[in-house]
Amino acid sequence: MTRPIASGKISTAPPSVYYLLDFITSAEEQLLIDKVLNAPKPKWIHLKNRRLQNWGGIVSAQGMIAEPLPVWLTDLFPRFHESGVFEGLDATHRDPNHCLVNEYLAGQGIMPHKDGPAYLPTVATVSLSSHCVLEFYKCLETGESGTMTSTVSSSCADDVRNQEPEFSILVQPRSLLVLKEDVYNKYMHGIRELTVDDLSKGNIQNLEQCLPEGYLNQNTVLERSTRISLTFRIVQKTMSSKKLLFQKR
């Protein structure tokens, strides 16, 4: 069944946020978790409040030395095509060329940040194992303000850290969250370091989309467990390793 991302629009959130429930099956989820957890040990980068894996290459200001994504990740591409996730961005890029895997233990999160100009302004995140609440803050920065993932622009992050988010999205396991255009460019997003989420807080906009059976409501408090997220993006500037060798000479 084709589900265009437009069917995942959230009526009370900015128009460039899309949320699709059950984008993958439980069996697919388990396979992806196994692949992430069985990746070679050196693939993990340990940060203070999460660990991550880069697939497709390491993104830097000079560009990314592109490596092909593994099949267990590209297997999701037909589904991205069906839903039109990366459509209309740039004729030369039809598919994502980078996937960042983040693993958060309960109580871990990510500081408010923008993903920045290294990527085309569409980010698609598949979530595994646990839910989280992604919070959005309008950022007053002007100009070319984006920062790259995990190198948070501290002035802006400091500004927003103590503010209430403008809106939040409950992100459930097996869902797809897509951020485009204005939400990509003008808002920061982050995940608070909490072990439980009280759904009455934080101005969550997609509870109706999450809860077709209505078993969760605003009084619900959800306990977090370990969450793995797969964040797919298109890095604009790429280089082959041959070109890099040539530059170094």
* Complex with Fe ion: residue 103 or 115, whichever CB lies closer: 115
- Least separation in angstroms between CB 61 and ligand AKG: 17
Contact between 135 and ligand AKG by CB under 6 A: the answer reads no
Contact between 189 and ligand AKG by CB under 6 A: the answer reads yes
Rounded Cα distance between 246 and 36, Å, is: 33
* Three-state DSSP class for residue 138: strand
Which is nearest to 86 in space by CA: 176, 191, 12? 176
Which is nearest to 32 in space by CA: 167, 120, 128? 128
* Complex with Fe ion: residue 159 or 198, whichever CB lies closer: 159
* Complex with Fe ion: residue 125 or 209, whichever CB lies closer: 125
**Residue selected from 130, 149, 172, 209 as contacting ligand AKG according to rule CB under 6 A:** 149
Rounded Cα distance between 112 and 106, Å, is: 18
Contact between 111 and ligand AKG by CB under 6 A: the answer reads no
Rounded Cα distance between 157 and 162, Å, is: 9
- Least separation in angstroms between CB 128 and Fe ion: 17
* Complex with Fe ion: residue 29 or 115, whichever CB lies closer: 115
CA distances from 214 to 22, 184, 210 (A): 16, 30, 8
Q: How far apart are the first and last CA of the chain?
A: 52
Contact between 168 and ligand AKG by CB under 6 A: the answer reads no
Q: How many residues bind ligand AKG (CB under 6 A)?
A: 10
Q: Which two tokens stand for residue 138?
A: 């309008």
Which is nearest to 218 in space by CA: 201, 234, 237? 201
- Each residue 71-110 as x (binds ligand AKG by CB under 6 A) or -, in order, gives -----------------------------x-x-------x
Residue identified by tokens 């646990």 is 130
CA angle at 15 for the pair 21 and 194, rounded to the nearest 5°: 55
125 binds, among ligand AKG, Fe ion, none (CB under 5 to 8 A by kind): ligand AKG
* Complex with ligand AKG: residue 144 or 213, whichever CB lies closer: 144
Contact between 229 and ligand AKG by CB under 6 A: the answer reads yes
Give the residues lining the site for ligand AKG (CB under 6 A): 100, 102, 110, 115, 125, 134, 149, 189, 229, 231
